[in-house]
């Protein structure tokens, strides 16, 4: 049950677009369309940003979008804003009927 692989950090200037990758295997990311993305601000509860690879919960900005290709899922933030600076984690259902999180990515707005 190894953690999914994410880049440790991604940065961008306000207004730019950035993409965070989340790489797993055919037993998790590649095998199911059950990838979620969470945003964590220090001292606050995690917030669901994307579920089932591409879906946005009500209230989440349409600047956030998700996709998947083979064993890698991606979260794209377009029109980067200062408030987007946070840690982001992906999560996937697995073939053992379990769940696994990614290693986490720190997004910095320059």
Partner 1 sequence: EVQLEESGGNMVRPGGSLRLSCAVSGFTFDDHGMSWVRQVPGKGLEWVCEINWNGGSTGYADSVKGRFTVSRDNGKKSLYLQMNSLRDEDTALYYCARNQLFGSGSDYWGQGTLVTVSS
Question: Which residues are at the interface with partner 1 (CB under 8 A)?
Answer: 1, 3, 32, 34-36, 38, 40, 45-48, 50-52, 55, 57, 89, 91, 93, 97-104
State which residue, 66 or 77, has the beta carbon closest to partner 1.
66
Q: How far apart (Å, rounded) are the C-alpha atoms in residues 46 and 42?
A: 9
Least separation in angstroms between residue 21's CB and partner 1 is 16
What lies within 8 Å, CB to CB, of 31 at 6+ separation is 25, 95
Q: How far apart (Å, rounded) are the C-alpha atoms in residues 13 and 81?
A: 8
State which residue, 16 or 27, has the beta carbon closest to partner 1.
27
């Amino acid at each position: 049950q190894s953690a999914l692989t994410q880049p440790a950090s991604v940065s961008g200037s306000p207004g730019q677009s950035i993409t965070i990758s989340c790489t797993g295997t055919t037993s998790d990311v590649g095998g199911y369309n059950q990838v979620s993305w969470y945003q964590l601000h220090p001292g606050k509860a995690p917030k669901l940003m994307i579920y089932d690879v591409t879906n946005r919960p009500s209230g989440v900005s349409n600047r956030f979008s998700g996709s998947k290709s083979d064993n890698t899922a991606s979260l794209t933030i377009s029109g980067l804003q200062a408030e987007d600076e946070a840690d982001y984690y992906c999560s996937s259902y697995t073939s053992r009927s379990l769940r696994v999180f990614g290693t986490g990515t720190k997004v910095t707005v320059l």
